[in-house]
Amino acid sequence: MKIFYKSGICVQNGKGTITLDPRKRVENGIVSHAHLDHLMPGALMSPQTRDIMGVRKNTTLARTLNFGEEANLNGFSIMLKDAGHVFGSAMIRVNDALYTGDFNPEGGLTCGKAVPEECEKLIVESTYGKPNLLLPSKEEALSDLLSWIEVETERNPVGVGAYEFGKAQEMIALMNEIDVPVVVTDKIADITDVYKKYGFELEYKRFSEMNEDDKKSPYALILPKRMLKRNSERAEELKELKRRGGRTCFVSGWCAFYPFTRMLDINAQFPISDHADFNGLLRFIEQCGPKEVYTCHGHAVELAEQVKTRLKIDASPLLKVC
């Protein structure tokens, strides 16, 4: 079985080829999750990913496969496993190979978690694939965020910047746990409505549906990162929050490495990620026990070298050739 990169991660066996996370429409593509840098209509994906795609790309053109079920695609045995990255995200089993996609062994409140499994070949993402990309304890980061929220919402609303799909819904679930009223933008609400179809009891109100009494009480406004850019035109949601004396924060794993309090118009930042960090990547690889490792996305070259050096496993980066 040959593995290489060509407008996606290609797996070839004899005359048959499938493409994992294709960058263009292909005949036998499989999509791992519904973040826009991975999402491609017409491919095989989980039902959850298809439904999120309906909101984000206005199409549900896809073949679906539930987690744990087996299908045949162009001569390959395919199975999707929970990747723990976002709602509906999948690791993809292809014969004796496993592709992680973006994954998180810790999981979250609105998705499961990635569980290592034995495989001959492992294709692994390398977002945090350099030795210095280490995240603090998720438990500590969440505790810091909740403490900040509880103090700030004693009198005023707060704005929590997060990616529209995945992190935003995690923040809604977290605010629900501490009984802080949640307000969201319409786009975040449209995405979160899909979660509710799958049984997630998330409580939130659209900003567009708020009345004056709602606006006078403290609440957590979940909003996309782009609204927090310095010198950007203020969205009405953020204008209202600022008028009420509200402060803002940004939540992302990259907060462990970049000074977003200077880069964005925010007051605080919290390093909470939906990816495995460097140590998590090495631990997951070791637990899968592969004979060959292929690294992709992010720091693929650096991670391949570290796998060879530290784990003594043959490893190669999958580099784009077109």
Is residue 105 situated within a structural domain? yes
Mean pLDDT of the chain: 96
Q: Residue 223 belongs to a domain with what CATH number?
A: 3.40.50.10890
Same domain, 244 and 230: yes
Q: Say how far apart CA 287 and CA 294 lie, in whole Å.
A: 15
Q: Is 112 helix (H, G, I), strand (E, B) or coil?
A: coil
Residue 322 is predicted with a pLDDT of 34
Phi then psi for residue 277, to 5 deg, are -80, -175
Q: Is 45 helix (H, G, I), strand (E, B) or coil?
A: strand
Same domain, 254 and 152: yes
Same domain, 86 and 24: yes
Same domain, 265 and 298: no
Mean pLDDT, residues 158-163: 97
Q: Say how far apart CA 219 and CA 155 lie, in whole Å.
A: 9
pLDDT tens string 104-155: 999 999 999 999 999 999 999 999 999 999 999 999 999 999 999 999 999 9
Q: Say how far apart CA 45 and CA 183 lie, in whole Å.
A: 30
pTM: 0.96
Structural domain range at position 185: 138-270
Same domain, 242 and 207: yes
Residue 15 is predicted with a pLDDT of 77
Mean pLDDT, residues 50-63: 97
Same domain, 180 and 56: no
Tell me which of 252, 270, 288 is where a domain ends.
Answer: 270
Residue with tokens 């782009």: 226
- Alpha-carbon Rg for the chain, nearest whole angstrom, is 20
Q: Residue 74 belongs to a domain with what CATH number?
A: 3.60.15.10
Are residues 140 and 148 in contact, defined by beta-carbon separation less than 8 angstroms?
Answer: no
Same domain, 128 and 50: yes
Is residue 322 situated within a structural domain? no
Question: Looking at the 3D structure of the chain, how many domains does it have?
Answer: 2
Same domain, 120 and 201: no
Instruction: With residue 100 as reference, give the H or E element that holds it.
Output: none
Same domain, 262 and 148: yes
pLDDT tens string 87-98: 999 999 999 999
pLDDT tens string 172-189: 999 999 999 999 999 999
Same domain, 178 and 198: yes
Quickly state the pLDDT bin for 320 (edges 50, 70, 90). confident
pLDDT exceeding 90 applies to what percent of the chain? Answer: 94
Q: How many helices (H) and strands (E) does the chain have?
A: 9, 19
pLDDT tens string 237-274: 999 999 999 999 999 999 999 999 999 999 999 999 99
Phi then psi for residue 48, to 5 deg, are -65, -45
321 has a pLDDT exceeding 80: no
